[in-house]
Amino acid sequence: MKMTPMAPKCGVEISGIQLATCSDEEMEAVKQAIYEHGVAVFRDQEFSPEDHIRFGKRWGGIDINNYFPLQQDFQEIAVVKKEADQKTNIGGDWHTDHSYDQIPAMGSVLVARELPPSGGDTMWAHMGAAYDALSDEVKAEIEGLEAFHTADHIYKADGLYAQTDMGRELRGHDLKTGAVHPVVIRHPHTGRKLLYVNKAFTINFVGKTREESMPLLEKLFAAALTDDNQCRLEWKPGTVAIWDNRTTWHNAVNDYQGHRREMHRITLSGEALAA
């Protein structure tokens, strides 16, 4: 098994392994690489839906997605797709999945099933590197802060997606979400300090209004998206990406208008976050 960094501070490509048949020892090495680097990419994988589910269960629990369409024969698998005639894609801005849950999902296993001729890359940014790059003054300012996260403004019946051509594909319009998390968390496996706010779902700091919170939030968002903090994946048939939601943000680049793209995603259960 060989590991090659994708970028100086984020991402690793792992070769010499087939995920569907990997040993327990290889599985442990994969987990540690993802916890540390945020995302791991695997090429040339033979990975059926049954393999996908079996692999997900080896991590622990699988969270069934409340919003995305589900694969008809395999309900554990969410279908992340954009049709050739649609303009809007799912996840087309920087975010981390499920921060609006009180126990957020650990991460995702995403499998390429149908790709456009070009485009449709996914980008990640490392939240440990983002925290490290903050000034001592900002670190002191956010120490002990908590923030409120919700997805209601995005997924509800009159939310952001409902106003696009993607709205008809999604479920869960009546769900209510909301969770409070520390702004700085420690990774439960590496102990590294991570910045835990994101552009899509973080609304305000506890004890402050949205308007009062935005100047500092915008400063943290900008710190997360420095060029040297990001990596980018060009998808190919047989590619699988696994990422840690606590360690990274991600962004599905929407630059393949007129072409269909379908990905299959399993969401891995997480654990409570702590400062």
Give 152-181 pLDDT, tens digit per residue: 877 666 666 676 766 667 766 677 889 999
**Residue 23 forms part of a structural domain:** yes
Max Cα-Cα span within the chain = 52
In degrees and rounded to multiples of 5, residue 37 shows phi and psi of -90, -15
**Residue 273 forms part of a structural domain:** no
Both tokens assigned to 229:
């903090």
- Tens of pLDDT, residue by residue over 55-67, are 999 998 999 887 7
**CATH no. for residue 189?**
3.60.130.10
Residue 175's pLDDT is what? 74
What is the rounded CA–CA span in Å between residue 237 and residue 250?
20
Do the Cβ atoms of 51 and 75 come closer than 8 Å? no
What is the rounded CA–CA span in Å between residue 40 and residue 244?
9
**Residue 208 forms part of a structural domain:** yes
Domain count, the chain: 1
Residue 103's pLDDT is what? 94
Find the catalytic residue in 37, 52, 63, 95. Answer: 95
Has 168 been annotated as catalytic?
no
**Residue 275 forms part of a structural domain:** no
Find the catalytic residue in 52, 250, 261, 264. Answer: 250
The separation between CA 51 and the C-alpha centre of its own chain, rounded to angstroms, equals: 21
What is the rounded CA–CA span in Å between residue 121 and residue 6?
14
DSSP E strands in the chain: the ranges are 2-5, 12-15, 39-42, 62-63, 70-71, 74-82, 107-114, 122-126, 146-149, 179-182, 184-186, 193-195, 202-205, 230-233, 240-244, 248-252, 261-268
Residue 159's pLDDT is what? 61
Has 37 been annotated as catalytic?
no
**pTM for the structure as a whole:** 0.94
Has 153 been annotated as catalytic?
no
**Residue 240 forms part of a structural domain:** yes
What is the residue range of 182's domain? 2-268
Find the catalytic residue in 97, 101, 126, 192. Answer: 97
**Residue 274 forms part of a structural domain:** no
Nearest CA-CA partner of 131 in 74, 86, 183: 183
Residue 92's pLDDT is what? 85
Has 95 been annotated as catalytic?
yes
Average pLDDT for runs of 10 along the chain of length 275: 96 98 97 98 97 94 84 92 90 90 96 97 98 96 96 71 69 78 97 96 97 97 92 98 97 96 96 92
